[in-house]
Amino acid sequence: MSQSLTGAGKVAGVVGAPVRHSLSPLIHNAWIAGAGLDAAYVPFSPPATGFKALVEGFRGGAVCGLNVTLPFKEEALALADAPSAAAQAAGAANLLLFREDGRILADNTDGTGLLAAFAQQAPGFDPAAAPVVILGAGGAARGAAAAFLAAGVGEVRILNRTLARAEAIAVSLGDRVSPLALHQAEQAFTGAGAVINATSAGLSGDGGLDVPLAATPADCVVMDMVYKPLRTPFLAQAETEGRRTVDGLAMLIGQAVPSFTAFFGVSPPSGVDVRALALKTLGLSERI
Ligand code: ATR
């Protein structure tokens, strides 16, 4: 938050349930302070049935915009008057902008964040150069597939425990998407330029994914959307195999950048190390 918020200050926020652990207020308020803006970024956590009322209440611009997180991303897209192509392709919105004329614009910056994370942590990686493998077939996987398709990849291989869900993504995103079952991992990894974990496996302490990353080419980049821990067992396995890795915190910060610009009309200030702040808040240290 700005040190000197006035009555003319701009307000944006994040809405989710739960929202307590969101790092977005920390990131955006650090940028607001660094840029010296008259603004604040606040968390909102409506009851499960209260998302629509909250969004409708902001129609007209009482707040300039909201980031949206679980479980409201699909509902956010449905409530918007003007969804971007990225939000439509992902089937979800993580950003709502409230215009003074009453319109609600929806966008999805997760794909931008994903590609920014690759650009930052795997310099020289070309998203269009080779097939990309995505593990999982939930909303996060769909968004990642849409982002790589928009970036010009020739083939996205969706690998999921439940094949029918991977097939559903292929039906909606088109014939550059190949659905595969988890036991076909070795086949999927052959010739891959990147492998991205977009499953929730391991999040609740249930063992995590056991996939043969050794079957990927030596220059394949391995990414995990999970950022706590930063060096997930999946990324540790990739490093053991000698693969370059990209972490979920880089994606989280990457999706916040275009959101901040959309809210406040300026880019985040370059001198604020929000990654270090986030790591400190999470009680994590850099990967070693
Ligand atoms: P989101 O929308 O946040 O991406 P989701 O819809 O709950 O989350 O999807 C979670 C993904 O993780 C699914 O692809 C799920 O596989 P299924 O479709 O077969 O359920 C995957 N997943 C969760 N736990 C898993 C595990 N232990 N092994 C493999 N995949 C797992």
pLDDT digits (tens, 9 = 90+) for 176-192: 999 999 999 999 999 99
Q: How confident is residue 1, by pLDDT bands cut at 50, 70 and 90?
A: low
> Is 41 within 8 Å of 25 (Cβ atoms)?
yes
Q: Pick the closest to residue 98 from 61, 53, 57 (CA basis).
A: 61
Half-sphere exposure of 108 (CA within 13 A, CB side): 31
* Residue 203 and residue 117 in one domain: yes
Q: How far apart are CA 209 and CA 151, in angstroms?
A: 27
* Residue 119 and residue 151 in one domain: yes
* Residue 145 and residue 226 in one domain: yes
Indicate whether residue 52 lines ligand 1 (CB < 6 A). no
Look over the chain and give the mean of its residue pLDDT values, rounded to a whole number: 95
Mean pLDDT score, 214-230: 95
Indicate whether residue 94 lines ligand 1 (CB < 6 A). no
Q: Which amino acid residue places its CA nearest to atom 25 of ligand 1? A: 201
* Residue 23 and residue 53 in one domain: yes
Q: How far apart are CA 105 and CA 109, in angstroms?
A: 13
Would residue 1 count as lying in a domain?
A: no
- The pLDDT assigned to 284 comes to 81
pLDDT digits (tens, 9 = 90+) for 35-53: 999 999 999 999 989 999 9
Query: What residues have CB less than 8 Å from 171, skipping those under 6 apart?
Result: none
pLDDT digits (tens, 9 = 90+) for 252-287: 999 999 999 999 999 999 999 999 999 999 988 886
Q: Is 73 a catalytic residue?
A: yes
Mean pLDDT score, 70-93: 97
- The pLDDT assigned to 208 comes to 74
Whole-structure pTM value: 0.95
Q: How confident is residue 206, by pLDDT bands cut at 50, 70 and 90?
A: low
Position 136, amino acid:
G
- Please give the distance, rounded to the nearest whole angstrom, from the Cα atom of residue 224 to the centre of ligand 1: 13
* Residue 208 and residue 101 in one domain: no
- The pLDDT assigned to 281 comes to 94
CA angle 140, 266, 271 (to 5 degrees): 85
Q: How far apart are CA 237 and CA 197, in angstroms?
A: 12
Q: Pick the closest to residue 188 from 168, 208, 166 (CA basis).
A: 166
Query: Which of 10, 52, 73, 228 is an active site residue?
Result: 73
Inform me whether the pLDDT recorded for 10 exceeds 60. Answer: yes
- The pLDDT assigned to 18 comes to 94
Indicate whether residue 162 lines ligand 1 (CB < 6 A). yes
* Residue 117 and residue 202 in one domain: yes
Would residue 55 count as lying in a domain?
A: yes
- Please give the distance, rounded to the nearest whole angstrom, from the Cα atom of residue 138 to the centre of ligand 1: 6
Indicate whether residue 200 lines ligand 1 (CB < 6 A). yes
Q: Taking the C-alpha atoms of 179, 150, 144 and 166 in order, what is their torsion angle to the nearest 10 degrees?
A: -20
Give one DSSP letter per residue of 52-121, joined into a string. Answer: HHHHHHHTTTSSSEEEE-TT-HHHHHHH-SEE-HHHHHHT--SEEEE-TTS-EEEE--HHHHHHHHHHHH
Mean pLDDT score, 74-96: 97
Mean pLDDT score, 2-31: 94
pLDDT digits (tens, 9 = 90+) for 56-81: 999 998 899 999 999 999 999 999 99
- The pLDDT assigned to 205 comes to 59
Cis peptide before 269 (omega within 30 of 0): no
Q: For residue 180, give both structure tokens.
A: 């595969």
Which of 133, 157, 161 gets mutated to test ligand 1 (max ligand atoms within 8 A of its CB)?
Answer: 161
Show the domain range for 177.
Answer: 111-246
Q: Which regions of 126-199 does DSSP assign to beta strands (E)?
A: 132-135, 156-160, 177-181, 194-197
- The pLDDT assigned to 103 comes to 97
- 3-state class of 31 per DSSP? helix
Percent of the chain with pLDDT over 70: 97
- The pLDDT assigned to 2 comes to 62
Q: How far apart are CA 29 and CA 26, in angstroms?
A: 5
- The pLDDT assigned to 201 comes to 87
CATH number reported for the structural domain that contains residue 39 in this entry: 3.40.50.10860
CATH number reported for the structural domain that contains residue 187 in this entry: 3.40.50.720
* Residue 260 and residue 233 in one domain: no
- What total number of domains does the chain contain? 2
* Residue 67 and residue 194 in one domain: no
Would residue 4 count as lying in a domain?
A: no
- Please give the distance, rounded to the nearest whole angstrom, from the Cα atom of residue 7 to the centre of ligand 1: 45
* Residue 145 and residue 90 in one domain: no
Would residue 5 count as lying in a domain?
A: no
Which ligand 1 atom minimizes the distance to the CA of 70?
A: 3
Would residue 288 count as lying in a domain?
A: no
Would residue 49 count as lying in a domain?
A: yes
* Residue 142 and residue 204 in one domain: yes
Would residue 3 count as lying in a domain?
A: no
* Residue 104 and residue 145 in one domain: no
Lowest mean pLDDT among 113-117, 138-142, 186-190, 203-207: 203-207
- The pLDDT assigned to 61 comes to 86
